[in-house]
Copies of this chain bind each other. A is one copy, B any other.
Amino acid sequence: MTAKSEDIAPEHRTAAQPGIASPWNRPQKRRTQPALSREQIVAEAFALLDSDGIEALSMRKLGARLNAGATSLYTHVANKEELLALVVDHVFGELPLARSENAEDPAVWRAAIVECTEAVRAAVVRHPWMVGVLGDVGMIYLGPNWMRLSEALLALMDAAGFELGEANDVMGVVMGYTIGTATVEAAWLSALAKNGEGEQEFMDRLLPAVVEATRPYPHLHRLYTVQVPEEVEAGRDSSFLRGLDVILDGIEARRAKP
């Protein structure tokens, strides 16, 4: 299913054709270049993660999807951990980079940051397995694609008139907020997925229990009885943007003064 056109006749595979040797199943010209590549493996792992989640990713299953043995992967990837790191960076590689044109206008750099962080958040939410992996993978920010993202952000802030230290701080605040928010959201979403229910339905089913459970906590109780019900999916979106706006206010204020 995932065979590329460079794969020369899958029937060479010894296990695939257990019949007796004969001219018709003989290797015949055998593949001249590696059947597996790191990119291919990463891409297939990515697809598997997206379709079946993190606990479905095993070396054996991944190998099978590539018409390869499990241990063949280890010639291209040192570890499962390294594989996961590569996949995470692969995700960041799909995001658009922030552009720096006319960035001296606050409205412009603010919009650029909103766009960039929204992209990161959307990626994490669309691939909820990432949050469980981000913890295991130290040093994500050394991946080439994350570096490109960072570079673009720093360039943006530079064009906006921030000096390097400030720009770094801004990036830390904004990305910290984005990752934290997205983590919580994705955790919620994968809990949903495990129950196989839609967001709104699950919420409706859960809410009475939550309301009951929060009875000892008056503020929380009020929050869940009057505030939460109407906002769910759309609420997450607007909530993220509201929060980001507050942060950008803080940044812009600090920039204007001293």
Query: Is the C-beta of A77 less than 8 angstroms from some C-beta in chain B?
Result: no
Specify which chain B residues have a CB less than 8 angstroms from the CB of A214 in the assembled complex.
147
Question: When the two chains form their complex, are residues B142 and A136 in contact, meaning their CB atoms are under 8 A apart?
Answer: no
Question: When the two chains form their complex, are residues B132 and A217 in contact, meaning their CB atoms are under 8 A apart?
Answer: no
A147 to B167, CA, bound (A): 35
Q: Which chain A residues (117-134) contact chain B, with CB distance < 8 Å?
A: 128-134
Query: Is the C-beta of A165 less than 8 angstroms from some C-beta in chain B?
Result: yes
Query: Is the C-beta of A9 less than 8 angstroms from some C-beta in chain B?
Result: no
Q: Which chain A residues (162-216) contact chain B, with CB distance < 8 Å?
A: 164-165, 167-169, 172-173, 175-184, 186-192, 194, 210, 213-214
Specify which chain B residues have a CB less than 8 angstroms from the CB of A227 in the assembled complex.
164-165, 168
**Residue in B132, B194, B250 whose beta carbon sits within 8 Å of that of A253 in the complex:** B250
Query: Is the C-beta of A249 less than 8 angstroms from some C-beta in chain B?
Result: yes
Query: Is the C-beta of A4 less than 8 angstroms from some C-beta in chain B?
Result: no
- Contact A191-B139, Cβ < 8 Å, known A147-B214, A147-B217, A179-B180: yes
**Residue in B184, B220, B251 whose beta carbon sits within 8 Å of that of A150 in the complex:** B220
Query: Is the C-beta of A219 less than 8 angstroms from some C-beta in chain B?
Result: yes
Specify which chain B residues have a CB less than 8 angstroms from the CB of A150 in the assembled complex.
217, 220
Query: Is the C-beta of A226 less than 8 angstroms from some C-beta in chain B?
Result: yes
Question: When the two chains form their complex, are residues B192 and A181 in contact, meaning their CB atoms are under 8 A apart?
Answer: no
Closest to A214 in B: B147
Closest to A244 in B: B173
Question: When the two chains form their complex, are residues B243 and A134 in contact, meaning their CB atoms are under 8 A apart?
Answer: no
Question: When the two chains form their complex, are residues A135 and B132 in contact, meaning their CB atoms are under 8 A apart?
Answer: yes
Question: When the two chains form their complex, are residues B213 and A147 in contact, meaning their CB atoms are under 8 A apart?
Answer: yes
Question: When the two chains form their complex, are residues B187 and A134 in contact, meaning their CB atoms are under 8 A apart?
Answer: yes
Closest to A141 in B: B184
Closest to A143 in B: B213
A250 to B138, CA, bound (A): 31
Query: Is the C-beta of A15 less than 8 angstroms from some C-beta in chain B?
Result: no
Q: Which residues of A contact B (CB under 8 A)?
A: 128-142, 147-148, 150-151, 154-155, 158, 164-165, 167-169, 172-173, 175-184, 186-192, 194, 210, 213-214, 217-220, 222-223, 226-227, 239, 242-243, 246-251, 253-254
Given A138-B192, A139-B188, A176-B177; 10 other pairs, CB 8 A cutoff? A132-B132, A138-B191, A151-B217, A154-B219, A173-B243, A173-B246, A179-B179, A180-B180, A183-B183, A249-B249
